[in-house]
Structure 1
Amino acid sequence: MDETTRQKLMHVSVATLATALFKRGLRNQVIQDVRPIKPKGRNMVGPAFTLRYIPAREDRNQLAEFRNPAHPQRVAVESCPAGHVLVMDSRKDPRAASAGDILVTRLMVRGVAGVVTDGGFRDASTIGDLDIPAYHNRPSSPTNLTLHEALDLNIPVACGDVAVFPGDIIVGDADCVIVIPQHLADEIADEAVEMTVYEDFVVEQVKAGVPIIGLYPGTREEHALAFANWRAQQGR
């Protein structure tokens, strides 16, 4: 992805991005029931690289499967490009883990920007201490083989009721994760930066006792003039 766009998306909230997408008619882009294991103090930003799980069948999913060098989960960990976000479709089922701390550590070492599942992670507390953003539904100890079969790499998937296409831009903050269609990423980033500047101004005004009507959204000339002066003083 464009590095300028990446940097812009590092400093805006998922809530702001959701509003910018809603203006374009996109209402269902926030991945549901997924949250950070531990906030990192920075956004997760990167193109999606996907892994799809299907329901496990006992004759196909025994522990011996992990010895197979072509096992899709292991291949995903070794092939997700640096700077991308590994997004796992685990059927919104956290009863069995999508991955554990060893695989997520490997993703971190390889320079992957983050990892998201609508299922759960085992060793979640350890993953939370790693220097890689990780988002899931809740901790889960059983191996994925008990309920999930890793099947497909880098295809369109569903994650938390959101369609995710390879290359879509994934942004996660301290609250949740949103999916930005790749062709909209640059303009959404630009708009979100502008929205964030105004929202920072609004917060200062509200803390100073200014009423919200006419300020947010800005519909009064007096607030437009105050914002222009504030922005000049702030150098933003």
Structure 2
Amino acid sequence: MSINDDLSNRLEKCYSGAVYDVLRAMGCPNQTLPNNIRPLDVDKKLAGPVYTVSGKYDASFDPHETLLNWTGLLSKAPKGSVVICQPNDDTLSHMGELSSETLQLRGIRGYIVDGGCRDSAFIKDIGFKVFCKYYTPVDVVGRWMAYGYGEPISIGGVQIHSGDYVMADRDGVVVIPRDMVEEVVLKTEEVLKTESLVRKAIMEGVDPQEAYLKYGKF
């Protein structure tokens, strides 16, 4: 998977609303993940190329095998990527303290899961960026294993492929198809510049409707 840190950093300076607006204008209005996937730290933004993981729950799994499997997951994600996990489970935690520290040390930009998290205070303190649906102390031992690495997944009806890009902040999570990402970033940067001009005009007393008609953005 190709990693472009400059593109990731530029995208992370944007915000999800502007990215969504650009995607909508480009004919892709359905690229946002469910609104119950929330950041541990609302002040952190996360962007970068996606590395997908999926998994399954089975209470008959051997505890040792699940831990072998989990530590294998931690070693597979490429440096500079954002891991997005479809756990196919809504009972367990699919991220915790030591795992977050490991991923951060390996240069992973963040982790987004359609599932749970534990040790959330510690993860927030170390600054690792996690987005999840809920918190629970229950871990994966003897109950959950990853089985898909880099394979397409679906979350909330959004199809996600490794190599796509993601932009996530306190407002939500937006997935950008890989073949559109450079154009989306450029157009979003243009939107931010235009919004600054509109804001300046409004602050100088220009009528909001006049400002909209002049700049075509509000």
Q: Which runs of 5+ in 1 are unaligned?
A: 225-236
SS in 2 for 1:163: strand
SS in 2 for 1:104: helix
What corresponds to 1:57 in structure 2? 58
What corresponds to 2:38 in structure 1? 35
What corresponds to 2:153 in structure 1? 157
SS in 2 for 1:202: helix
For residue 106 of structure 1, the aligned residue among 102, 107, 114 is 102
Distance 1:207 1:30 in 2: 32
For residue 83 of structure 1, the aligned residue among 48, 67, 80 is 80
Q: Confirm or deny that 1:74 pairs with 2:71.
A: yes
What is the aligned-residue identity percentage?
Answer: 22
**Distance change (3 Å), C-alpha of 1:201 and 1:53:** same
Q: Is the 8 A contact 2:66 2:141 kept in 1?
A: no
**Distance change (3 Å), C-alpha of 1:204 and 1:146:** farther
For residue 188 of structure 1, the aligned residue among 184, 188, 193 is 184
SS in 2 for 1:195: helix
- What TM-score, normalized to structure 1? 0.81
SS in 2 for 1:179: strand
**Distance change (3 Å), C-alpha of 1:94 and 1:140:** farther
Q: Is the 8 A contact 1:90 1:159 kept in 2?
A: no
Distance 1:9 1:50 in 2: 19
SS in 1 for 2:131: strand
Aligned-residue CA RMSD (Å)? 2.1
Q: Is the 8 A contact 2:16 2:174 kept in 1?
A: yes
What corresponds to 1:8 in structure 2? 10
Q: Is the 8 A contact 1:39 1:133 kept in 2?
A: no
**Distance change (3 Å), C-alpha of 1:196 and 1:156:** same
Larger Rg: 1
For residue 47 of structure 1, the aligned residue among 25, 43, 49 is 49
- What TM-score, normalized to structure 2? 0.88
Shift of 1:194: 0.5
What corresponds to 1:215 in structure 2? 211
SS in 2 for 1:75: helix
What corresponds to 1:233 in structure 2? none
Shift of 1:18: 0.6
Q: Which runs of 5+ in 2 are unaligned?
A: none
Q: Is the 8 A contact 2:202 2:208 kept in 1?
A: yes
4+ runs deviating over 6 angstroms: none
Shift of 1:97: 0.7
Distance 1:121 1:169 in 2: 22
Distance 2:84 2:67 in 1: 23
Q: Map Cα deviations across residues 72-112 of structure 1 (whole Å, 9 max, x no partner).
A: x3222111111001110023x54311121111110001110
Q: Is the 8 A contact 2:11 2:48 kept in 1?
A: no
